[in-house]
Structure 1
Amino acid sequence: MTHGDSLVLTIEATQRSLEERLGEVLAPHPDPLRPRDTYAATDTFLAATSRHLAAVQAVVLGHVRRTVPDGDAVVHDYLAVARDLEQTLSLIKARLYGEAHAIHLSWPELWMRARGQLAEHNRLESHMVGELVRLGDPVEMDGLAYKVFDAERHGPTRPHPTLPHTGLLSLVARRVWAIADRFWDAAEGRVIPEPVHPAPHKHDSLLAQYLVADPKFDDHAKFMEHRHHPKAG
């Protein structure tokens, strides 16, 4: 595994997990003795997706702005899709809990919208993270997967589309709402799944392992890793 792969693999695994959770919601639940299975699956999907969106906004977007050429435009395009998805998640939550302004909404329409927006979000997120890893500082990239994981564990578990999405104010708002969300999760007995754990980074050379004091040496590693960087155009 090379530098930055942990971030890419973790994002990809999280995307697959969200898609699988959405698939569980859309799958038929024919057991008459468990009529609320669909509600539980929906709640889990909402929590996992809301948490991931908040973590990426808190951890990744600032690095993209500083590192990727036209980073502001890349972040702008990503946030446009993320906000749309958050708004749909908010409507799904309102419909699930019978809020008056959402009871007229059609479930098939909401799920069709969520599925399309999640697919577009994942496409833009993968491109954004790929560019960040390609151009970013290798050592810094290795730590981002763990920062995303930690932000997911402590992030809000409900969609909050009206909150600011970047900057210091957004960090403060997410922390405040994360505390409120945890209070209501406990009050409602809501089960919040663990985020996807970061893929561990394996040091590719014996010299690299020695320099970071890694006690688990790979006997098959090369003494030094030869990395080839693309020439600037």
Structure 2
Amino acid sequence: MTHGHTLTMTVDATQRSLDQRLRHALLPHDNPRRPRDHYAATDTFLAATSRHLAAVEAVLVAEVRRSMPDGESLCHDYLHTARELELTLAWVKGKLYGEAHAIYLKWPELWADVRSLLDEHNRLERRMVAELIRHGDPRTVDGLARRMFDAETHGPTRPHPRTPHTGLLGLASRRMWALADRVWDAAEGRVIPDPVPPTPHRHDSLVAQYLVADPKFDASATVVDHHKRHTSSD
């Protein structure tokens, strides 16, 4: 498995999942027997996206700043887009639940903004991943997918665009809102989807690595694969 493969595959899978949830939220949900389908689809997209944004800010942004020669500029661009997306998600949530400040907003315009900002977010996130693979410490980068998964699992499930996003204040804010969101999720019976798990990072035996032209020479790998033989009695 090549360096950075786990992080790349996990981020790609998460972005595909968010795109799929967005498409589902945009579908017409007009079954009179299931009047809350629209709420559920939109709320699930909001939860998954909010949680992923928090994880990127908690894990990838800090690593880019440490690892990249011009990391601050890329992080500035990413955080600007992430905040705009989170603010738009907050408007979607307000519109969904009939909050007075969001009543005048039109769904087509809101969803168009979400689509545009999510596309730009995904582009910048992929760029951060590529730069980390190019400049970051290989061992650290190979552990980022697991850290992202852990951060998403324990992250806030609602958009909070007005709170700090980075540094110690950002960390404290994410923890505070994650706790508050879990209380409200339980009270409202809100279903929160599991984050996309990281792609397993393992190597086969040394011989298998050589045969597939991926000789990482993992110290824990066996020389050859050992398979138990199953014998059947006559």
Q: Same fold (TM over 0.5)?
A: yes
* Distance across 1 between alignment mates of 2:163 and 2:185: 20
Contact 1:18–1:49, Cα closer than 8 Å, also in 2 = yes
CA RMSD of aligned residues (A): 1.8
* Distance across 2 between alignment mates of 1:217 and 1:54: 42
Q: How does 1:137-148 map to 2 (within 5 A)?
A: 137-148=137-148
Alignment of 1:106 onto 2:106: yes
Contact 2:60–2:128, Cα closer than 8 Å, also in 1 = no
1:216 Cα deviation (Å)? 10
1:30 Cα deviation (Å)? 3.7
Contact 1:156–1:177, Cα closer than 8 Å, also in 2 = yes
Report the equivalent of 2:46.
Answer: 46
1:208 Cα deviation (Å)? 4.9
Alignment partner of 1:60: what SS? helix
Alignment of 1:154 onto 2:151: no
Report the equivalent of 1:124.
Answer: 124
Indicate the percent of aligned positions where both proteins have the same amino acid. 64
Report the equivalent of 1:181.
Answer: 181
Contact 1:209–1:217, Cα closer than 8 Å, also in 2 = no
Q: In the alignment, residue 114 of structure 1 is paired with which amino acid?
A: V
Q: In the alignment, residue 139 of structure 2 is paired with which amino acid?
A: V
Q: Please, which runs of 5 or more residues in structure 2 have no aligned partner? A: 207-214, 227-234
1:125-148 Cα offsets, whole Å, 9 max, x none, are: 101111111211111111110000
Q: In the alignment, residue 140 of structure 1 is paired with which amino acid?
A: T
Q: In the alignment, residue 201 of structure 1 is paired with which amino acid?
A: H
* Distance across 1 between alignment mates of 2:71 and 2:174: 23
Q: In the alignment, residue 39 of structure 2 is paired with which amino acid?
A: Y
Report the equivalent of 1:133.
Answer: 133
1:49-68 Cα offsets, whole Å, 9 max, x none, are: 00000001001111101111
Report the equivalent of 1:224.
Answer: none
TM-aligned CA distance change 1:184 to 1:64, over 3 Å? same
Contact 2:203–2:218, Cα closer than 8 Å, also in 1 = no
How many residues align? The count is: 218
* Distance across 1 between alignment mates of 2:6 and 2:224: 19
* Distance across 2 between alignment mates of 1:52 and 1:130: 18
* Distance across 1 between alignment mates of 2:8 and 2:167: 24
TM-aligned CA distance change 1:75 to 1:215, over 3 Å? same
* Distance across 1 between alignment mates of 2:224 and 2:154: 33
Alignment partner of 2:12: what SS? helix
1:166 Cα deviation (Å)? 0.8
Report the equivalent of 2:21.
Answer: 21
1:91 Cα deviation (Å)? 0.5
Report the equivalent of 2:10.
Answer: 10
Alignment partner of 1:115: what SS? helix
* Distance across 1 between alignment mates of 2:76 and 2:31: 44
* Distance across 2 between alignment mates of 1:85 and 1:2: 32
> Which is worse superposed, 18-27 or 200-209?
200-209
Report the equivalent of 2:193.
Answer: 193
* Distance across 2 between alignment mates of 1:158 and 1:172: 16
Report the equivalent of 1:172.
Answer: 172
Report the equivalent of 1:226.
Answer: none
1:215 Cα deviation (Å)? 6.6
* Distance across 1 between alignment mates of 2:76 and 2:224: 43
Alignment partner of 1:146: what SS? helix
Contact 2:92–2:110, Cα closer than 8 Å, also in 1 = yes
TM-aligned CA distance change 1:161 to 1:218, over 3 Å? farther
Structure number with greater Rg is 2
Q: In the alignment, residue 187 of structure 2 is paired with which amino acid?
A: A
TM-aligned CA distance change 1:210 to 1:69, over 3 Å? closer
* Distance across 2 between alignment mates of 1:82 and 1:107: 20
1:3 Cα deviation (Å)? 1.9
